[in-house]
Amino acid sequence: MQATFLLIVLLALSAVGYYLGHHRSLAVSGGRISHLHSLPTYYGFYTVLWCGIPALVLFALWMALQGTLITHLVISGLPADIQALPSTELHLFLNNIQNMVSGNIVSGDITETMNNAAAHYKSLHSISGLLLTVLMLVLAIGGILWARKNIVPERRARNIVEKTVTVMLVLCSTVAIFTTLGIILSVLFESIRFFQQVPITDFIFGVNWSPQTAMREDQVGSSGAFGAIPLFVGTMLISMIAMTVAVPIGLMAAIYLSEYASSTVRAIAKPLLEILAGIPTVVYGFFAALTVAPFIRDLGDSVGLQVASESALAAGLVMGIMIIPFVSSLSDDVINAVPQSLRDGAYGLGATRSETIRQVIIPAALPGIVGGVLLAVSRAIGETMIVVMAAGLASNLTMNPLEAVTTVTVQIVTLLTGDQEFDSAKTLAAFALGLMLFTVTLVLNIIALSFVRKYREQYE
Write out the residues near other proteins by the rule CB under 8 A: 262-263, 339, 341-352, 355, 359-360, 363-364, 458-460
Q: In the bound complex, what is the minimum distance in angstroms from residue 460's beta carbon to other proteins? A: 7
Q: In the bound complex, what is the minimum distance in angstroms from residue 456's beta carbon to other proteins? A: 10
Q: In the bound complex, what is the minimum distance in angstroms from residue 334's beta carbon to other proteins? A: 13
Cβ proximity to other proteins, 68 vs 262, nearer residue: 262
Cβ proximity to other proteins, 100 vs 360, nearer residue: 360
Cβ proximity to other proteins, 145 vs 261, nearer residue: 261
Q: In the bound complex, what is the minimum distance in angstroms from residue 333's beta carbon to other proteins? A: 18
Q: In the bound complex, what is the minimum distance in angstroms from residue 262's beta carbon to other proteins? A: 6
Cβ proximity to other proteins, 166 vs 359, nearer residue: 359
Cβ proximity to other proteins, 72 vs 353, nearer residue: 353
Q: What angle do CA 432, 437, 441 make, to 5 degrees?
A: 150
Cβ proximity to other proteins, 321 vs 365, nearer residue: 365
Q: In the bound complex, what is the minimum distance in angstroms from residue 257's beta carbon to other proteins? A: 15
Q: In the bound complex, what is the minimum distance in angstroms from residue 343's beta carbon to other proteins? A: 7
Cβ proximity to other proteins, 262 vs 417, nearer residue: 262
Q: How many residues does the chain have?
A: 460
Nearest residue to 15 via CA among 59, 47, 54, 57 = 47
Cβ proximity to other proteins, 95 vs 458, nearer residue: 458
Cβ proximity to other proteins, 106 vs 366, nearer residue: 366
Q: In the bound complex, what is the minimum distance in angstroms from residue 449's beta carbon to other proteins? A: 20
Q: In the bound complex, what is the minimum distance in angstroms from residue 268's beta carbon to other proteins? A: 16
**What's phi and psi for 155, nearest 5 deg?**
-60, 125
